[in-house]
Amino acid sequence: MSLDSFTDTQVAALLMLATGAANADLQATAGEPVVKASIGAPIDIPNVGQGNIPALFIYRLDTAGKEESQYELNAYSTFAIEYWAPLCPADKMIARWPLLRAVWASVAKALQGGMHPSVSSGAYVLEQAGLRAELGPSTTASFRRGASDGGFYPFFSGRMRFYEEIATDVGVTDIEGLDLFLRMHTVTLLPGATATTSAVPTQVITLGGYPASIAMSGDLSGDVVGMSGALEGDAETTSFPES
C-alpha cells in the first residue's frame, strides 16, 4: 500500500470508452490505431514518448458537490479531454489537421451517449461507473498545434461536464419502524367522486430507498384527500384506499 494505491474508476471508464470508440470508428481509415496510449493524468507530451503517440488524456479538472437530499450526495465534475497526434512537419499540417476533428467527434459522441457498440459489447459503461454527461455548452474543444524541434504536434484540448454519483443513503443507519404522522388536507375531488368520514389506515412509503410505516390519523371530511409532512429525501406514497 502506498500513496499510489488509489484508482479513479470514473476516469478509467471514460478512457476505456473514448479510446475504444475512436479506434473502432477511425482505425480502418487511418490504417493504424488513432489512439495508442490512454493516460489519466496531465502529463507533458515530451514525457510521454514518441512510441505512445497518438495519445488520449482524460483527467479531472474540478468537482462541485451537490447534496440531493439528506440521504444522497452527488456532484458535477468537469474532465479535461486532450488528444495529441504525432509530430509532423509543417508541410503535412494541412493533411493531418482533419484528424483532430474526426477523433473529437468520435470521442464526444461516445462519452455523451455513455456507450459505443464496439466497447464492452455495447454496455452503458459510464452509467455503470456512475457518470452521465451534461449536454450543452459545457462540452467544448479547441484545436491547436504545439511547436517542437522538427515540426508541430496537432492536438485538441476539450472539456466535458458529467453528473457523478458519489454516495447514497448518507447518514441513514436504521429507519425500520419509523412512524411519520401526516396532516390531511382538503382538495377538490373529480366530478362524481365521494368521500366519507372515516379513519385512515396505516400507509407504507419508501423513504430514501427504505420502506417506512406511516401511521396517519384524523378524519376525512368534505372533499378529500391530500397529505403533507416533514418528509426529507425522496418519498413515494401508496394510493389512498377507496372509501
| Grid cell locating 152 | 508541430
- The DSSP output letter for 87 is P
> Could you tell me if 89 and 151 are in contact, meaning their C-beta atoms sit under 8 angstroms apart?
yes
Predicted TM-score (pTM) of the model is 0.67
**Three-class secondary structure of residue 22 per DSSP:** helix
pLDDT at 237: 42
> From edge to edge, which strands make up the β-sheet containing 210-214?
210-214, 203-207, 235-236
Q: Which residues, 6 or more positions from 157, have their beta carbon under 8 angstroms from its beta carbon?
A: 80, 81, 82, 141, 142, 144
Give per-residue pLDDT as tens, 106-136: 999 999 999 999 999 999 999 999 999 887 7
Q: How far apart are CA 88 and CA 72, in angstroms?
A: 49
Residue 54 per-residue DSSP state: S
User: What domains, with CATH codes, occur in the chain?
Assistant: 9-168 (3.30.70), 172-243 (no CATH)
134-181 pLDDT, tens per residue? 877 778 899 999 988 788 999 999 999 998 876 544 444 444 444 444
pLDDT given at position 67? 55
**Confidence band of 64 (pLDDT split at 50, 70, 90):** confident
- Predicted pLDDT at 212: 41
